[in-house]
Amino acid sequence: MKELELKYGCNPNQKPSRIFMSDGSELPIEVLMGKPGYINFLDAFNGWQLVKELKEATGLPAATSFKHVSPAGAAVGLPLDETLRKIYWVDDEELSPLACAYARARGADRMSSFGDFIALSDVCDKDTAKLIRREVSDGVIAPGFTDEALELLAQKKKGNYNVIRIDESYVPAELERKQVYGITFEQGRQNLKIDDALLSNIVTENKNMPKEAVIDLKIALITLKYTQSNSVCFAKGGQAIGIGAGQQSRVHCTRLAGSKADNWFLRQCPKVLELPFKDDIKRPDRDNAIDVYIGEEYEDLLAEGAWQRVFTEKPAVFTREEKRAWLDKMTDVALGSDAFFPFSDNIDRAKKSGVKYIAQPGGSVRDDLVIESCNKYGMSMAFTGIRLFHH
């Protein structure tokens, strides 16, 4: 297949629309089910690059959950403990390493992942397909699918769920092009390899960068390669736990990513795990209720009686002091930034979310103040010397 006609572009009025190879060669994909659209393919191809690189960098199966051309989550296939199984709603499932990767990628920010497009580094197996089947999702791209996985995925959307197989041996051209306002832009592909050497220039007094932190920093930086800039990513335990994308101010990226990381950790608090949900409340509604419960506006909802829709009894307020006490237990978080920190306020905000390891390009006129702030908190920070803007 040399081209594929699409229903429309980003919006229904943008017609005609298609994907094709400019050199006339065959497309490196096969649509096994469904009719993926323009945005679906943007998410699929960006997501595939991300998981392919994560697998190469860590040696572990990888998954990402994409929404609107930025990842909502990304992870590698490390086992889940009992708490993570509960907050990701998979405590009743058998999980292969690839399924663990997707559970992590989907579970870090479940509200943002609602209606996602999935990318998998490995052949989609039965365990992973079972997780995908039960979630609200637009489609999945992978290098292959087992027969059992395809049978499960065919049960979604009356057989119209988007399933794309990609040729994992495909290598894109070194030059890439796109058009804006009828004008063609050309640049070399972003082929920077995220490896141990990129994290070797540690500029802080604390030079300790354990293996687990290096893996998390690789996850953060590879995630940033395919996130709309400006962007900052928090990672811990083999997964992104907070992504701040597309902000004009660096500190707003850090605040957004930090707030998502905080929510991820607050969901693990026993007070949240023990919320008295009604039996018939579905997972997306539980996710929404938890987000409200740990938010600042929950006291207002308690006063209005809205809790009666989802809970069997009125939960006690999760006070600001209780939240802060729980968040103070979050430690050893890794943080990646796609460009340098211009001010030390980013480090101050990162500290509130348990950040201990940082990777950023460096190169700011205030690098000395940023390093000084890291030293004050005992953080270890590497200068990569490489910016990772993605537009």
pLDDT tens readout for residues 250-289: 999 999 999 999 999 999 999 999 999 999 999 999 999 9
Whether the pLDDT of residue 31 is over 80: the answer is yes
Residue 162's pLDDT is what?
97
Look at the block and give the residue holding tokens 């395809």. Answer: 150
Residue 108's pLDDT is what?
94
pTM, rounded to two decimals: 0.95
Look at the block and give the residue holding tokens 């997780």. Answer: 131
* Residue-averaged pLDDT of the chain: 95
Mean pLDDT of 331-339: 97
Q: Is residue 380 within 8 Å of 358, Cβ to Cβ? A: yes
Phi/psi for 360 (5° steps) reads -155, 160
pLDDT tens readout for residues 188-247: 999 999 999 999 999 999 999 999 999 999 999 999 999 999 999 999 999 999 999 999
Phi/psi for 301 (5° steps) reads -70, -35
CA-CA distance, 358 to 211, in Å (whole number)?
14
Whether the pLDDT of residue 129 is over 70: the answer is yes
Phi/psi for 292 (5° steps) reads -70, -40
Count Cα atoms within 13 angstroms, Cβ side, for 263: 27
- Copy the structure tokens of residue 279: 């039996």
Whether the pLDDT of residue 360 is over 80: the answer is yes
Whether the pLDDT of residue 22 is over 90: the answer is no
Residue 300's pLDDT is what?
74
Q: Is residue 63 within 8 Å of 74, Cβ to Cβ? A: yes
CA-CA distance, 68 to 287, in Å (whole number)?
20
Q: Which amino acids are annotated catalytic?
A: 67-68, 230, 391
pLDDT tens readout for residues 144-157: 999 999 999 999 99
Residue 164's pLDDT is what?
98
DSSP letters for 76-111: E-PPP-HHHHHHTT-TTS---HHHHHHHHHHHTTHH
CA-CA distance, 46 to 278, in Å (whole number)?
38
Q: What confidence tier does 18 reach under pLDDT thresholds 50, 70, 90? A: very high
16 cis-preceded (ω within 30 degrees of 0): yes
Phi-psi region of 264 (alpha: psi -120 to 50; beta: other; left: phi over 0): alpha
> Could you tell me which of 102, 39, 38 has the C-alpha nearest to residue 72?
102
Whether the pLDDT of residue 42 is over 90: the answer is yes
Mean pLDDT of 167-182: 94
Q: What confidence tier does 303 reach under pLDDT thresholds 50, 70, 90? A: low
Neighbours of 337 (CB within 10 A): 28
